[in-house]
Every structure is written in C-alpha cells, then in structure tokens.
C-alpha cells in the first residue's frame, strides 16, 4: 500500500478504491490503495417486487423487511447474469424509491381498513385505569380508540392514527371515540372517562353535534368527561384551543394536556391554556427510579403542573419501583401496565354493552 501523505489519518471506506479521513474531514480518493470491499451476495432484481409486497402486507413495523429493501437498493454487487448492477439513484427520471412506494401502499391499505371499519361500526374503546397515588383506586379511566378489521382482529390506534390523523378519516375516528365514550358514560353513572381528540376536530361540525346531543341527554356527563388533547396537537392552533376550552369548561368539561414534555409547548401558551390535567409523557417515566436524567425532568414537569394548579398524571408506569418514585415525587395519579392493561370489556361495563364490539350512542 502506498504511503499516506501527511494530514488526517485515512481508513478504507465501505466502497471500493476510496479512503475517508478520520474526524469527519472531506473525503479523499486514493485510487492506488488496492483495498476493495467484499462484494455483496448476488441479488436478483426481480426479488425487489417481493420485498416491496412484504413491506406493504406486513406494515412499517416489519423492520427486517424494510432493511432488506434498503440493503437491496444500495447494493452494487453482481446480479445472477454476472453483470454489475448499478447503485440505485432515485433522483433519475423514471426511478422510484421502493421503500417510499411500499409505505405508500401500506398507508393506502390502512386508510381502506379504517374506512371500512367506520362504515361497519367496528369501533370501540379499550379502557385503562388511572390510579390515584394516595388512594390506590381508579380516579378515572382513559378510553383508547380501537377498530376491528374484517377478520375481527382488534387494531390499536398506534397502528393507524398516524396515517389518518391529517385526513377526514381522522376526524371520523375522533367522532367514533367521542360517541363510544359518551355512550359508556351514559350507561355507567359512576364512571369518569377521558377521551382523546385532535385539535383538528375542534371545528368539525359532526364532532360538536355528538357532544351537544349527549350533554343534552344527561347533564351529569359534562362533569364526568375529560377531553385529552396532545401537546403537539394543541400547539397547532393554540388560540383556537383556548377559545374551545373556555366554552366547554363553562359546561363542566375537564381538559387534559396529553404527552406533556414530548412536544414544544410555549410556556406563554401553557399559562393561558388553563388545562385541568397534565399528563406527563411516558418516555420520562421509563426507568425513573434509576435514571437520574428522567428524575430531574420529572421533578421539573411535576413542579410546573403544581405551579399552574394542574392535576398531574404520569403515564406508562410499568414497575413498582417507578410507581414508588412517582408517589414520593408528588405526582397525583399514575397510569400504565403496572396497574392494568387497556380492556375492551372491563367488569364494570354493563353486560349488554360488554357483549358487543360496536360502540353506539
């Protein structure tokens, strides 16, 4: 190997006949270095269609399939015919990123699944208890939207909400969650329930019609319903959210700021919002009994809640040690698998409603 000139040390890079300076300085070519990477295994270009289909069928959670497609696209090894397959360039006319294509196809499938579930009434809530730190008893429940696919499999919101949130279907999902939740409140007089919504649904006429109809049927529902708006969603239209909250708080409705700490809430807006409940994002709760960074952040978030006279809830509690730390830190309520998984048919739900999947009201 020829001697390397003075300057940053060079190491062979991942491609043939190229060297890269250490410490991130500009790349330098050395065509005589003689170092070549081991050629990747032969891959048939026709296999790409199968890889794309696999991603579209199994969804974005199939990381192995996505990695397979990515590695295939970046491959420059020989194909079965012995010719060298050029590295894919997705900037060239007529070329298409297969990962983007696969994710787009998956999203289309998700939208269709949600559309059919809404049309058939295959929507429901899964109820998870929120436990009081002092009493150890449920202070209220959170109703988490679920849909059933055409095989009866229950699909959690994490599998479709990101795809539909900005679409009209997202507004319909919020309507379905509200309808299911208010229906449960109407059938269960002692229940207090939080229901998730997007700030995008504030101006959606159908959503407001459902709320007004149920409030008119039972004047106790307003005092027992909690509307959860995520921090990220609230900051999209903060002025609209403030007006919306003021109008409904006059009718006894409680508001919770969800996923606090995960978004970009301006403290000016936080002061003006007047949320009743502050739900701390679960990422700060994980391992809080041993993670000093999370402990520091949690103390700050709990202090903010107390300063603004907000009821604090810590989410994603999974161990007794985490729960003990949170109690000692002064959090008001806790929620997570340590206390109970979301249930579609909890014991307290009236049997007639528990036996069916469809949410009505």
pLDDT tens sequence across 294-347: 999 999 999 999 999 999 999 999 999 999 999 999 999 999 999 999 999 999
pLDDT band at 44 (very low <50, low <70, confident <90, very high): low
Distance of alpha carbon 71 from alpha carbon 40, whole angstroms:
10
Contact status, residue 183 vs residue 195, Cβ threshold 8 Å: no
Q: What is the pLDDT of residue 223?
A: 96
Express each pLDDT in 226-274 by its tens digit: 999 999 999 989 999 999 999 999 999 999 999 999 877 677 788 888 9
- With a pLDDT cut of 70, the percent of the chain lying above it is 70
Q: Does domain 124-354 have CATH number 3.20.20.450?
A: yes
pLDDT at 218 over 90: yes
103-107, 281-285, 311-315: range with lowest mean pLDDT = 103-107
82-96, 201-215, 288-302, 315-329: range with lowest mean pLDDT = 82-96
Q: What is the pLDDT of residue 135?
A: 96
Q: What is the pLDDT of residue 297?
A: 96
Distance of alpha carbon 7 from alpha carbon 10, whole angstroms:
9
Burial (0-12, 13-18, 19+ Cβ within 10 Å), 231:
buried
Q: Where in the chain is the domain with CATH 3.20.20.450?
A: 124-354
pLDDT band at 106 (very low <50, low <70, confident <90, very high): confident
Contact status, residue 190 vs residue 229, Cβ threshold 8 Å: no
Angle at 256 between CA 318 and CA 215, to 5 degrees: 120
pLDDT band at 101 (very low <50, low <70, confident <90, very high): confident
SS3 127: strand
Q: What is the pLDDT of residue 75?
A: 47
Structure tokens given for 309: 């006279």
Distance of alpha carbon 213 from alpha carbon 111, whole angstroms:
28
Angle at 39 between CA 35 and CA 40, to 5 degrees: 140
Contact status, residue 77 vs residue 42, Cβ threshold 8 Å: yes
SS3 160: coil
pLDDT band at 35 (very low <50, low <70, confident <90, very high): very low
pLDDT band at 32 (very low <50, low <70, confident <90, very high): very low
């Amino acid at each position: 190997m020829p001697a390397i000139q003075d300057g940053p040390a060079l190491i062979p890079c991942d491609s043939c006949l190229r060297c890269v300076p250490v410490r991130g300085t500009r790349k330098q070519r050395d065509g005589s270095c003689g170092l070549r990477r081991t050629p990747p295994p032969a891959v048939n270009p026709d296999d790409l269609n199968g890889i794309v289909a696999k991603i579209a069928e199994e969804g974005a959670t199939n990381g192995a399939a996505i990695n397979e497609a990515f590695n295939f696209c970046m491959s420059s090894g020989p194909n079965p015919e012995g010719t060298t397959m050029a590295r894919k360039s997705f900037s060239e006319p007529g070329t298409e990123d297969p990962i983007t294509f696969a994710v787009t196809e998956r999203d289309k499938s998700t939208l269709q699944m949600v559309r059919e579930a809404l049309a058939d009434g295959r929507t429901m809530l899964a109820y998870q208890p929120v436990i009081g730190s002092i009493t150890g008893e449920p202070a209220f429940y959170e109703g988490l939207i679920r849909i059933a696919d055409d095989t009866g499999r229950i699909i959690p919101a994490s599998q479709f909400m990101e795809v539909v949130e900005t679409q009209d279907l997202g507004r319909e999902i919020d309507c379905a969650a509200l309808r299911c939740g208010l229906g449960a409140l109407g059938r269960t007089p002692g229940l207090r329930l939080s229901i998730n919504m997007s700030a995008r649904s504030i101006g959606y006429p159908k959503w407001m019609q459902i709320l007004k109809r149920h409030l008119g049927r039972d004047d106790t529902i307003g005092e027992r319903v909690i509307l959860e708006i995520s921090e990220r969603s609230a900051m999209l239209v903060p002025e609209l959210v403030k007006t919306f909250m003021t109008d409904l708080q006059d009718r006894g409705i409680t508001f919770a700021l969800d996923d606090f700490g995960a978004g970009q809430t301006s403290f000016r807006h936080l002061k003006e919002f007047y949320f009743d409940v502050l739900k701390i994002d679960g990422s700060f709760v994980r391992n809080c009994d041993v993670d000093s960074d999370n402990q520091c952040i949690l103390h700050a978030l709990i202090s903010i809640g107390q300063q603004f006279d907000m009821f604090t809830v810590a989410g994603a509690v999974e161990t007794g040690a985490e729960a003990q730390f949170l109690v000692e830190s002064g959090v008001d309520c806790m929620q997570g698998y340590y206390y109970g998984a979301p249930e579609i048919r909890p014991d307290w739900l009236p049997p007639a409603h528990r036996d069916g999947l469809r949410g009505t009201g």
